[in-house]
């Protein structure tokens, strides 16, 4: 039974460039889907709890998700609670998504380094 591996092992040859770009594209798409999902949560949350328009909700959620900070003022406690929780979760989601997107590149660099080290 063949094991399902996300990345090749240290002793395996370097993945061909076409397969590497396919892996990178899959990770980029997965990262974008995660960001769109959490952006949707933020837009809906700001709209419902703060009473912002859809466009203001999109702006606020985008700014929080990217780590820039809030745009508008929040006048009610539920909105402040949502904004606090969304900001905490968004920081983790953004950093995790960047890691997901960069993982194939980092793995390829390290894998190539180990292959060159083994040749010596």
Q: What are the pLDDT digits (tens) for 46-84? A: 999 999 999 999 999 999 998 888 888 899 999 999 999
**DSSP per-residue letters across 8-74:** --TTSPPPPHHHHHHHHHHHHHHHHHHHHHHHHHHHHHHHHHH---HHHHHHHHHHHHTTS---S--
**For residue 118, pLDDT beyond 80:** no
**For residue 44, pLDDT beyond 80:** yes
Q: Which domains does the chain have, with CATH numbers?
A: 17-119 (1.10.287)
């Amino acid at each position: 039974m063949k094991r399902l591996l996300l990345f090749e092992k240290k002793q395996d040859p370097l993945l061909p460039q076409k397969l590497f770009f396919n892996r990178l594209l899959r990770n980029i798409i997965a990262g974008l889907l995660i960001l769109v999902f959490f952006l949707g949560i933020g837009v809906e949350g700001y709209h419902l709890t703060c009473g912002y328009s859809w466009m203001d909700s999109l702006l606020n959620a985008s700014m929080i998700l990217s780590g820039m900070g809030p745009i508008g003022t929040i006048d009610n406690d539920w909105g402040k609670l949502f904004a606090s929780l969304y900001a905490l979760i968004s920081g983790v989601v953004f950093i995790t998504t960047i890691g997901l997107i960069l993982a194939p590149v980092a793995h390829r660099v390290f894998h190539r380094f180990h292959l060159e080290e083994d040749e010596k």
